[in-house]
Amino acid sequence: MNKHRISPDFEIIKRGRVSDVFTGLDIRSFMQAASYIQTLPYRRNEDKNDLKTVLSDQYGTCSTKHALLKSLADEQGFEDIHLTLCMFKMSPGNTPKVKKVLDDHKLEYLPEAHNYLKYDGHILDFTGPGFDPETYGPDILEEIRIMPGQITDFKVDFHKNYLEKWLRANPNIHLTHSELWKVREQCILALFTD
């Protein structure tokens, strides 16, 4: 379970498609839903446009898990929970599984996009047990609020544009944009391995 100073909670009332799916699983509160989502394995969903696939697939990523929880909160009229997209310095210090990939490409870190929820200024990360805001929080480079529908094309475009600017600002990194994106994909694959 996420250990945060402030955790929003409210009863889930049958009020829409997302709420109905959670109540159908006998999940009756937001924090119960968040705990359930956090226990699901970290893996990419084939259909990011239908967020309920997190529940049918029984896995998800930072994007699909938090977009689903944001949709639940919105459906319940609890709009003070915000879906947040950040760029952070993904490094062996905060993401140990990427060490070999970064070392192979002589990179100290790689700017990575990550989603979580924010409530009353606090990060609520339900991606899984290895995603602790206290670990990556100091490495956050930028944050913006987004809507659940922006976890696909918008997030990818935002990330790619950020990497382009980062490469221009770091001419000592001798990788093209497409090569850097491939390194990023290798890092993500490393996250899926046990």
Query: pLDDT tens digits for 45-97?
Result: 888 888 989 999 999 999 999 999 999 999 999 999 999 999 999 999 999 99
Domain that holds residue 180: 82-192
Residues 184 and 90 placed together within one structural domain of the fold: yes
| 84-132 pLDDT, tens digit each | 999 999 999 999 999 999 999 999 999 999 999 999 999 999 999 878 8
Reduce the DSSP state of residue 111 to 3 states and report it: strand
Residues 68 and 92 placed together within one structural domain of the fold: no
Note whether residue 6 is domain-resident. no
* φ/ψ (deg, to 5) at 44: -75, 135
Task: Residue 167: name the closest of 154, 181, 155 by CA.
Answer: 181
Residues 194 and 191: their CA atoms lie apart, in Å, by: 8
Residues 128 and 61 placed together within one structural domain of the fold: no
| Number of domains present in the structure of the chain | 2
Spell out the residues 6+ positions from residue 23 whose beta carbon is closer than 8 angstroms to its own.
12, 14
Note whether residue 3 is domain-resident. no
Note whether residue 96 is domain-resident. yes
Reduce the DSSP state of residue 149 to 3 states and report it: helix
Residues 70 and 87 placed together within one structural domain of the fold: no
